[in-house]
Amino acid sequence: GNGCASPGPTLLFVKTSRAEEQGRRFYACSACRDRKDCSFFQWEDEKVSEARLAAREEYNRNHQPSFTHRQNAERLKNFILLPLSQRKFCQDCQQLLLPAEWQEHSGHQFQCDISTAQLKTPSQLLYPLENKKTNAQYLFADRSCQFLLDLIIALGFRRVLSVGTPRLHEMIQSKASQDKDFSVRSLLLDIDFRYSQFYTEDEFCHYNMFNHYFFGGEAAQETCQQFLYQDTGERVIMVTDPPFGGLVEALASSFKKLMTMWRETEKEGDNNQEMPMFWIFPYFFESRILEFFPSFSMMDYQVDYDNHALYKHGKTGRRQSPVRIFTNITPRRVVLPIEEGYRFCTICQRYVSSGNQHCEICNSCTSKDGRRWKHCALCNKCVKPSWIHCDKCNCCALQDHSCERTDAGCFVCGKAGHKRSTCPRLSLA
């Protein structure tokens, strides 16, 4: 495939088939969900030959970036000294070029006259890696990015650990370079090594959030640790925007490790505290996220993206964005913009979207998707407005749903009436 430059430790997955009682476990790349992007695959119980190990080493060497982060930082210094007419960016290689390198990129597509402003907004210069399963690089729309930054400042944070949020990072860095009174700082942790061309080793760490792996080893980990070390009044918040196809369990495990790094920097005995965090993810993952982080709650704010066909604000997108902010910050402190239709519910003590009505029976504002939900007495909870109660299924569903939809049979035992996750076979195993 086009290769991923060895994303660090792999993850263990389970492959289940109807024929086998127990799933057979295998290792695969933690950053790529698609075999076409990273062909790494190995059964857990498989012995690997010397030849195959050597081939893998060779493959990894060939897929390493052409420069180290340190070399890239040096190159940037030289690039900035060039007159505008000599500042070229190779679109094919996604690389800033120095004049001596033009020759070896001849025949490639160039972008010329790269301004200082463009160097400060690399997320607009680089093309988004849009293979959904691998990078799913969707970037915050300006409106959402500005909202997040204003909120972070209003909450009194001065340092932002930006995990997979390059737009937020560059907005902070850019403001800091233009305004000496702007005191917020950001450190970007991201799997996209292309950012190393634009940021120093104190501003960017090459990082895989699926297995908490710092490619720069101990030095990079130390950079992150130092950044999390807070002086008085320099409170830190972590903001993360993982790929939506990402495994919640793997992400939660990494985020807990980052929280631990933060806790270890604490001087006083604040050991029971959690690092403040915004985890940006679709609302239908709410129960999964709360399973790993019981202190979190979901805010009603709809986060929009620039280059995502479905999750755009306004008329062009298919509908409202399902992406929300999950946070361990007290909900009432997360003030949402009144001018965008959010209002404060005094009973729930949090800001909710205008269509989100407080239900007397559930005693909460129950809508998750921005539309007004309705209470079903039989289900004893609020449901989407388009759902009706189905006596066969004994729950609410879309009007034209097929009853007992699990007829197709369970993956594990082949029987109808339940899904793999609730198979009695698995609980016996």
Report the pLDDT value the prediction gives residue 281, as an integer from 0 to 100. 94
pLDDT of residue 401: 84
CB atoms within 10 A of CB 392: 9
**Residue 90 and residue 97 in contact, taking contact as beta carbons nearer than 8 Å:** yes
Distances (CA, A) of 192 to 31, 125, 199, 221: 11, 14, 12, 17
Name the amino acid, one letter, at 391: D
Q: Within 10 Å of residue 375's Cβ, how many Cβ atoms?
A: 15
Q: And the tokens for 235?
A: 């409170």
What was the pLDDT predicted at 172? 97
Residues of the chain with pLDDT under 50: 1-3, 131-135, 315-318, 406, 427-429
110: Cβ–Cβ under 8 A, 6 or more apart, which residues?
88, 89, 90, 91, 97
Rounded alpha-carbon distances, angstroms, from residue 71 to 79, 154, 290: 12, 37, 42
CB atoms within 10 A of CB 2: 9
Confidence at residue 1, expressed as pLDDT on a 0 to 100 scale: 37
pLDDT for 2 equals 39
- Straight-line distance from the first to the last Cα atom of the chain, in angstroms, rounded to the nearest whole number: 37
- How far apart CA 72 and CA 76 sit, in angstroms, is 6
Tens-place pLDDT, residues 131-152: 444 445 678 889 999 999 999 9
Indicate the DSSP class of residue 256: H
Q: Helix 217-228 and helix 248-265: axis angle, to 10°?
A: 70
> Strand 297-298 to strand 236-240: parallel, antiparallel, or no bridges (unpaired)?
unpaired
This prediction has a pTM of 0.79
- Beta-sheet strand order (sheet of 323-327): 213-214, 204-208, 185-190, 159-163, 236-240, 277-282, 323-327, 297-298
Bridge partner residues of 190 (DSSP): 206
Position 320 scores a pLDDT of: 76
Tokens, residue 269: 């005995």
Environment class of residue 154 by beta-carbon count within 10 Å: exposed (0-12), middle (13-18) or buried (19+)? exposed
State the residue for tokens 């990402």. 246
Query: CB under 8 Å to 30, separation ≥6 — which residues?
Result: 7, 8, 9, 10, 11, 208, 210, 211, 213, 250
Residue reference for tokens 């903001």:
239
Tokens 């305004």 correspond to 179
Q: For residue 229, give both structure tokens.
A: 């070390």
The burial of 109, by beta-carbon neighbours within 10 Å (0-12 exposed, 13-18 middle, 19 or more buried), is given as exposed
* Token pair listed for 298: 């979901």
pLDDT for 32 equals 63
Residue found by looking up tokens 């390059």 in the block: 166
Cβ(309)–Cβ(268) below 8 Å: no
CA distances from 109 to 61, 88, 426 (A): 26, 10, 54
Say which residue the tokens 């950012």 belong to: 195
